Structure 1
Amino acid sequence: MKLLSVLFAVTLCSWLVTCVPTQEKKDRIHHGKDLSDHKHDDSKDFQYDHEAFPGREDAKTFDQLTPEESKERLGKIVDKIDRDKDGFITNQELKDWIAHAQNRYIYENVNKHWRDYDKNKDDKISWEEYKNTTYGYAADEEPFYDVPDKERYRNMMKRDERRFKQADKDGDLIATRDEFTAFLHPEEFDYMKDIVITETIEDIDKNGDMLVDVNEYIADMYTPENDEPEPEWVKSERHQFAEHRDLNKDGKLDRSEIGHWIHPHEYDHTDLEAKHLIYESDKDRDDKLTKKEILDNWNMFVGSQATNYGEDLTRRHDEF
């Protein structure tokens, strides 16, 4: 899923990097992108299941295993999916596992950088720890000595603090691992949607009216060079703005309309994939799977999200 990095990355990174206006379309929409470019036609092959996760390039690791090794490791994964240990895999358990596989890269990224921020090693990160690590211990001093573009630097720190407070559910200015994940990746959490909308407006709105007109909307995606004619996709985006984004037809997008734009209501592709896997493997039609049913259809599962497209099969059991 492709999203504009300035919206969702840690803001200091955006400050350190010199941004060049792109000539290609940017996508701020957070949506359940289809899980593969291939048609879902299991009568021919399992290519859709094999590539249904954005990390599908790692699926080739599956080719390194023999069928026997694949079945053995798949069995260990099934034991993990079966959270209540009743011997059956329900749609919800399979859906949760697929979502877990989808989001693992986020949590692995958080874990990778956790030690950089958790200075006192209490397995939590306070706003002070984050601020001091990111902006330096002199961040509260006026002015910001030896800092170029001081006003932008100050505004970025305020924006980070606002997002940190939104992610911090109990308001103690100390983030648990889940709260810190919500801070770094707000697009993945329902309770962070409002702050994502606010930051989107701030990024695009140039005249300060907290609304987005069509020119601001286009400027976020495209900057012409040397009076070149607008590409067809830009003309198409103008049409999209007028016909589908601007719901009340007043020529501008308000908070509600921006919410509809960046958080559209679409199919839950993880749910569809879970239902598909169950339908294809559920021999007794009881709407749940046993380990035997899964292993009997192992070739479909090792090429699906349930094993992160084969990547999980190459992990040690204690890594899950």
Structure 2
Amino acid sequence: MFNKCLLLLSLFSTCINSAHIGSHLNKEREEDGSFVSRDHNHYGQGGEHNTDFDHEAILGSVKEAEEFEHLSPEESKKRLRLLLKNMDLNKDNNIDRKELQAWILRSFRMLSVEESNSRFEDADENTDGLVDWDEHLKETYGTEDADDIDVTNLGDDEMVKQDKMIFNAADGDKNGVLDKTEYQSFSAPEEHPHMFPILIKQVLEEKDTDKDGFLSFQEFMGDRGQKHNRQYIVEEKDKFDNEYDTNKDGLLNENEILSWIVPSNE
């Protein structure tokens, strides 16, 4: 029964996109700046199948997936029967595509919370149940002062600025610190709609060179065109025209930018 569920997962997980993990500094991104999908680890670079991904996608917890490996066969079957029963939302003794997709998305949300809470505990050095900016700097960069970060490394300098913008946006009550719930928004801003405006703002500040509030293809590409061959540029132009620019005006507006950097879960 579990193998059947894993087969369904392998068939359908490729149509599910989700967020990624960790704080904004360590947030995994595609080369074009969009957030990677949660299922990007389903297969390795060589095409090898990552079964750990399957287990986590079903159980919704890295810790539970690790514990599951050490259960007796009898206990494993017992827990799997319960899981499959919970997946079967319409109680017809079958798991269809929509039910599987809903379950995986639920699991991904649980994984995101688990990862955020783990990072929160690491960052909360004084164990007061809150993370302030200095604690984040120390956990992420090994310093409590942004001025101590090597600003000659422009990548780090820009990431600190972006981190600070997202930190402030996640601080809902504006008290200068993040509780565990606020930290989840900071850790995975692409999963929280109230954080979307700051993500769009960051993209425009970085790429909108003529400051008209839109992105042309040239602005979308930035300096990536200098690093790749013509075929890459042609492929990116095709995606820009046919996937991102939905109103076909040759520009990306804020909604189109959001659809590009935060792929839909549907």
Normalising to structure 2: TM-score of the pair? 0.60
Greater fraction helix: 2
Which residues of 2 match residues 151-230 of structure 1 at below 5 A? Answer: 156-206=159-209, 209-219=212-222, 222-224=225-227, 229-230=229-230
Flag the 1:146–1:154 CA change in 2: closer, same or farther, 3 A. closer
Following the alignment from structure 1 to structure 2, what is the Cα–Cα distance between the partners of residues 128 and 27? 27
Residue 121 of structure 1 and its aligned partner are, at CA, apart by 0.8
Flag the 1:203–1:55 CA change in 2: closer, same or farther, 3 A. farther
Question: Partner of 2:127 in structure 1?
Answer: 121
Deviation string, structure 1 residues 123-146 (Cα, Å, up to 9, x no partner) = 22123432455463443xxxx367
Flag the 1:240–1:157 CA change in 2: closer, same or farther, 3 A. closer
Amino acid at match of 2:24: V
Corresponding pairs, count: 225
Following the alignment from structure 2 to structure 1, what is the Cα–Cα distance between the partners of residues 210 and 114? 39
Residue 74 of structure 1 and its aligned partner are, at CA, apart by 3.4
Flag the 1:64–1:54 CA change in 2: closer, same or farther, 3 A. closer
Flag the 1:123–1:4 CA change in 2: closer, same or farther, 3 A. closer
Following the alignment from structure 1 to structure 2, what is the Cα–Cα distance between the partners of residues 209 and 53? 46
Flag the 1:3–1:204 CA change in 2: closer, same or farther, 3 A. farther
Q: Is the 8 A contact 1:211 1:254 kept in 2?
A: yes
Following the alignment from structure 2 to structure 1, what is the Cα–Cα distance between the partners of residues 106 and 245? 35
Flag the 1:122–1:210 CA change in 2: closer, same or farther, 3 A. same
Flag the 1:246–1:98 CA change in 2: closer, same or farther, 3 A. closer
Flag the 1:197–1:73 CA change in 2: closer, same or farther, 3 A. same
Following the alignment from structure 2 to structure 1, what is the Cα–Cα distance between the partners of residues 20 and 37? 13
Following the alignment from structure 2 to structure 1, what is the Cα–Cα distance between the partners of residues 102 and 181? 16
Question: Partner of 2:116 in structure 1?
Answer: 110
Flag the 1:75–1:160 CA change in 2: closer, same or farther, 3 A. same
Question: Partner of 2:93 in structure 1?
Answer: none
RMSD: 4.8
Following the alignment from structure 1 to structure 2, what is the Cα–Cα distance between the partners of residues 108 and 192? 19
Residue 180 of structure 1 and its aligned partner are, at CA, apart by 0.6
Following the alignment from structure 2 to structure 1, what is the Cα–Cα distance between the partners of residues 174 and 226? 41
Deviation string, structure 1 residues 2-42 (Cα, Å, up to 9, x no partner) = 8799xx8533x59xxxxxxxxx96572677979x89xxxxx
Amino acid at match of 1:261: W
Q: Percent identity?
A: 26
Amino acid at match of 2:76: S
Amino acid at match of 1:127: W
Flag the 1:75–1:245 CA change in 2: closer, same or farther, 3 A. closer
Amino acid at match of 2:218: N
Amino acid at match of 2:108: Q
Higher RCO, 1 or 2 (CA under 8 Å, sep at least 6)?
Answer: 1
Amino acid at match of 1:216: E
Flag the 1:9–1:26 CA change in 2: closer, same or farther, 3 A. farther
Amino acid at match of 2:150: V
Following the alignment from structure 1 to structure 2, what is the Cα–Cα distance between the partners of residues 96 and 175? 30
Q: Which runs of 5 or more structure 1 residues have no equivalent in the other structure?
A: 15-23, 38-50, 83-92, 268-320
Normalising to structure 1: TM-score of the pair? 0.52
Which residues of 2 match residues 43-54 of structure 1 at below 5 A? Answer: none
Deviation string, structure 1 residues 263-294 (Cα, Å, up to 9, x no partner) = 45563xxxxxxxxxxxxxxxxxxxxxxxxxxx
Question: Partner of 1:55 in structure 2?
Answer: 53
Residue 248 of structure 1 and its aligned partner are, at CA, apart by 4.7
